[in-house]
């Protein structure tokens, strides 16, 4: 049975046998005993992105504990509104918080403070909250959609838009200019990317993506 536990850039949970680079959760358990989902898609506002292996821990996916989720890469997790975990990715989480402080010209925030802001930015009721922004103002690692194909997610990287799929990035389009885009990545995370946070990309995005 392929579980419905893979997160796409829209924040939707899909069932796929394709493997991803990152693991995470949404603050607790929301799957049912038969390993299916009801209406709930999160347990709390603590949406985190973790490494696949940490201190030789082993978990029974969708067992009695929290609802385990998976991501193609960190760029996808950020697009869906997840932040780095402070336990298994402490260095990345501290860098993320530092860039948050830089972007807001404030103090380095605690995790619950960031979660409170991100929960409001990523959701409109049960649906994904988006915003329209000129593409020239968007940093690499931001997920957008085109008006012609609103259900397809593209990640901005340099002069290209990379089409997301559960197996990797496929089609590459030339990045348009002076065009308003529908942005999937929450505004605070966009600001962190603009401030210099460098997320980890799937290898299919091309060479040099983590530099």
pLDDT (average), residues 79-98? 98
More confident residue, 142 or 125: 142
Q: What is the pLDDT of residue 211?
A: 33
Q: How many domains does the chain have?
A: 2
**Burial per residue of 123-142, b for 16 or more beta-carbon CB atoms within 10 angstroms, e otherwise:** beeeebbbeebebeebbbbb
DSSP 112: H
**Together in a domain, 110 and 62:** yes
pLDDT, one tens digit per residue, over 95-118 is: 999 999 999 999 999 999 999 999
Q: What is the pLDDT of residues 151-202, one digit of tens each?
A: 999 999 999 999 999 999 988 999 999 999 999 999 999 999 999 999 999 9
Distance CA 153, CA 73 (A): 14
- Residue 169 in any domain: the answer is yes
Q: What is residue 59's predicted lDDT score, i.e. its pLDDT?
A: 82
- Do 101 and 143 lie in one domain? The reply is no
Query: Could you say which of 84, 104, 124 is where a domain stops?
Result: 124
- Asked whether residue 211 is assigned to any structural domain, the reply reads no
**175 and 104 both lie in a single domain:** no
Residue 171 has a pLDDT of 85
- 1 occurs within a structural domain: no
Find all residues with CB under 8 Å of 119, minimum gap 6, and list them.
45, 47
Q: Is the pLDDT of residue 208 over 80?
A: no
Q: Look up the pTM and report it.
A: 0.95
Residue count (the chain)? 211
Q: What is the per-residue pLDDT for 2?
A: 95
Average pLDDT over residues 44-62: 90
> CA-CA distance, 118 to 30, in Å (whole number)?
19
In a domain, 64, yes or no: yes
How many Cβ atoms are within 10 Å of 25's Cβ, its own excluded?
23
Domain boundary among 102, 124, 146: 124
Over the stretch 6-35, which tens digit does the pLDDT of each residue have?
A: 999 999 999 999 989 999 999 999 999 999
Residues 52 and 146 in one domain: no
Say whether both 61 and 138 belong to one domain: no
DSSP 9: T
pLDDT at 102: 97
167: containing domain: 128-201
Q: Are residues 100 and 152 in the same domain?
A: no
Shared domain for 79 and 139, answered yes or no, is no
Tokens 């329209």 locate to 132
pLDDT in tens, 134-150: 999 999 999 999 988 99
Q: Does the residue 210 lie in any domain?
A: no
C-alpha 181/C-alpha 22 separation (Å) is: 27
Co-location of 149 and 195 in the same domain: yes
With 90 as the cut, is the pLDDT of residue 40 above it?
Answer: yes
């Amino acid at each position: 049975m392929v579980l419905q536990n893979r997160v796409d850039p829209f924040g939707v949970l899909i069932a796929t046998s394709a493997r991803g680079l990152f693991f995470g959760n949404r603050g607790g358990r929301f799957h049912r005993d038969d390993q299916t989902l009801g209406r709930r898609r999160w347990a709390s506002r603590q949406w985190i992105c973790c490494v696949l292996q940490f201190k030789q821990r082993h978990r029974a996916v969708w067992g009695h504990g929290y609802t385990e989720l998976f991501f193609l890469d960190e760029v996808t997790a950020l697009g869906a509104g997840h932040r780095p975990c402070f336990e298994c990715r402490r260095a990345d989480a501290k860098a993320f918080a530092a860039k948050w402080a830089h972007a807001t010209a404030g103090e380095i925030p605690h995790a619950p403070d960031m979660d409170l802001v991100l929960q409001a930015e990523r959701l409109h009721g049960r649906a994904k909250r988006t915003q329209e922004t000129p593409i020239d103002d968007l940093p690499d690692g931001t997920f957008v959609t085109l008006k012609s194909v609103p259900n397809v997610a593209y990640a901005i990287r340099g002069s290209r838009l990379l089409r997301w799929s559960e197996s990797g990035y496929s089609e590459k389009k030339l990045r348009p200019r002076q065009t308003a885009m529908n942005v999937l990545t929450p505004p605070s995370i966009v600001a962190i990317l603009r401030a210099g946070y460098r997320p980890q990309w799937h290898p299919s995005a091309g060479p040099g993506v983590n530099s």
